[in-house]
Amino acid sequence: MKLVFALTAACAALLLTTPTAFAQQPIVIKFSHVVAVDTPKGKGAERFKQLAEDRTKGRVKVEIYPNSSLFKDGEEMEALQLGSVQILAPSLAKFGPLGVRDFEVFDLPYIFDNYDELHKVTEGKVGKDLFKKLESKGIVGLAYWDNGFKDMSANKPIRMPGDYKGLKMRIQSSKVLGDEMKALGAIPQVMAFSEVYQALQTGVVDGTENPPSNFYTQKMQEVQKYLALTNHGYLGYAVIANKKFWDGLPADIRSALDSAMKDATKYANDIAKKENEDAIEAVKKSGKTEIISLTDAEKAAMKKALAPVHKENESRVGKAVIEEVYKETGFKP
Ligand code: LMR
């Protein structure tokens, strides 16, 4: 009898406490990325966390893992699909291995002259269509975040296409970027972002390409003597979530998170240009890396050398998507 009483009391206690205990557990969103906190993406993620937690009044907790501290390139997409992480913001050059090669349209050399042209694409039909392609992979696209235009670095002055001959250049996992380096006579090496500094330091690779904000915050000025302001291509991000997780959120929470993402996107995109300009100044100030500005003739030679990369990748990236981007940006192949 005593036992029955004790069990009944225990069950009653459980019934009384459990709903409250569950109600108090916040929904945890792990947001993993590979760059430093002090970058456009790092700051955008922090802003999203703050807005998401405020607007859901603590019902959501966003845990940010910067600098590849949770997952690195080559691991994070699978982790997202498996639900080990809920949000990522990989660069648009990292969707090929997932089987969505159309994203590599963003890697085509010189396809965007400025952020305005880029935004016409990300905020237009192409941007939406690309996100639709992610759904069959169990992924939902939430936003496009800017970083900036890439520059080339090495330990020798790189001004003309011929200067790249034989250099081992680290690239992201995009075939378009591989063809870009080959067009310059360089040897492309796909490598996770977290390994680049050490690879440059030890000579595993000779150089790389990135927007200045990534160059500076990864301290590449310590291991690269020259940074050529080539602006030969764009690097930005797709903020993506595990679709099952996102669709399964209570409607009011999802709408608060959508609004937090919208405002964090505006913030991240507003600061990107200046963050990159400031990074060039900081690299100059470090006195360790010489900044090379190309002459008009050198720019024209780079453009000419890289032009064939567009045609070479037409079947991989998709003629239709390339032509839509040309139409939006006015790019003439
Ligand atoms: C890189 O791997 O070079 C970049 O995509 C890193 C990043 O996320 O900006």
84-137 confidence digits (pLDDT tens): 999 999 999 999 999 999 999 999 999 999 999 999 999 999 999 999 999 999
Ligand 1 centroid, distance to 219 Cα (angstroms) = 14
The 3-state secondary structure of 182-234 reads HHCCCEEEECCHHHHHHHHHHCCCCEEEECHHHHHHCCHHHCCCEEECCCCCE
Q: Which atom of ligand 1 is nearest to the CA of 193?
A: 2
Q: Which atom of ligand 1 is nearest to the CA of 170?
A: 3
Distance, in Å, from the CA atom of 124 to the CA atom of 136, rounded to the nearest integer, reads 21
Provide the residue type at 231 as one letter.
N
Determine the distance from the C-alpha atom of residue 28 to the mean position of all C-alpha atoms in its chain, rounded to a whole number.
22
Q: What is the mean pLDDT of the chain?
A: 94
151-194 confidence digits (pLDDT tens): 999 999 999 999 999 999 999 999 999 999 999 999 999 999 99
36-95 confidence digits (pLDDT tens): 999 999 999 999 999 999 999 999 999 999 999 999 999 999 999 999 999 999 999 999
Is the minimum distance from the CB of 91 to ligand 1 under 6 angstroms? yes
For residue 259, the tally of other CB atoms under 10 A from its CB is 13
What is residue 23's predicted lDDT score, i.e. its pLDDT? 58
Is the minimum distance from the CB of 147 to ligand 1 under 6 angstroms? yes
What is residue 24's predicted lDDT score, i.e. its pLDDT? 72
| Angle, vertex CA 220, rays to CA 44 and CA 155, nearest 5 | 145
- Residue percentage of the chain with pLDDT more than 90: 92
Distance, in Å, from the CA atom of 31 to the CA atom of 47, rounded to the nearest integer, reads 12
Q: Which atom of ligand 1 is nearest to the CA of 73?
A: 2
